[in-house]
């Protein structure tokens, strides 16, 4: 019996582990970068600040956080906050949704946006019960 199939399985397992570790590092860096966003948004609490809470935002429909007064433009946007839409919005909020209340100019660095989105995804995941 050839050892090639075992080597392939080991290689794939190592790659999957590396991808998981990379995602964890991205979320950790994203938490640090989120300081810019935290002036106006919470990510670890459902409470609104100047802007709506971003807790649970990944794949959530736009403009549905109760208790926050969204702009008419944001209310009219019929989309969900997929990772792609978050990336586009964080790049240039006013260009994606003209008339948004968000006056932040945006983040040009793709790697920083990806890390922030990884962090938002980590706080969007449902909490796991301890075993």
In the chain, the DSSP E strands lie at: none
pLDDT tops 50 at residue 82:
yes
Separation of alpha carbons 59 and 85, rounded Å: 9
pLDDT at 21: 47
Give φ, ψ of 80 to 5 degrees: -115, 160
Q: What is the mean pLDDT of residues 33-44?
A: 96
pLDDT tops 70 at residue 128:
no
Radius of gyration of the chain measured on its C-alpha atoms: 18
Structure-token pair, residue 107: 């983040």
Separation of alpha carbons 123 and 87, rounded Å: 17
Domains, the chain, ordered by start:
28-124 (1.10.760.10)
Q: What is the mean pLDDT of residues 105-125?
A: 94
- Which residue in this structure is represented by tokens 């590396």? 18
pLDDT at 125: 61
pTM of the model: 0.76
Give the residue from 43, 49, 36 showing the smallest Cα distance to 93.
Answer: 36
The answer to whether 71 touches 100, Cβ cutoff 8 Å, is: yes
């Amino acid at each position: 019996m050839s050892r090639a199939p075992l080597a392939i399985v080991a290689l794939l397992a190592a790659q999957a582990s590396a991808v998981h570790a990379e995602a964890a590092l991205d979320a950790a860096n994203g938490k640090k970068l989120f300081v810019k966003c935290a002036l106006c948004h919470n990510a670890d609490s459902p409470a609104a600040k100047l802007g709506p809470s971003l807790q649970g935002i990944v794949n959530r429909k736009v403009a549905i956080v109760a208790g926050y007064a969204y702009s008419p433009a944001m209310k009219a946007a019929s989309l969900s906050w997929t990772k792609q839409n978050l990336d586009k919005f964080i790049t240039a909020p006013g260009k994606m949704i003209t008339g948004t209340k968000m006056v932040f100019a945006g983040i040009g660095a793709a790697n920083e946006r990806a890390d922030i989105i990884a962090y938002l995804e980590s706080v969007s995941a449902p909490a796991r019960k301890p075993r």
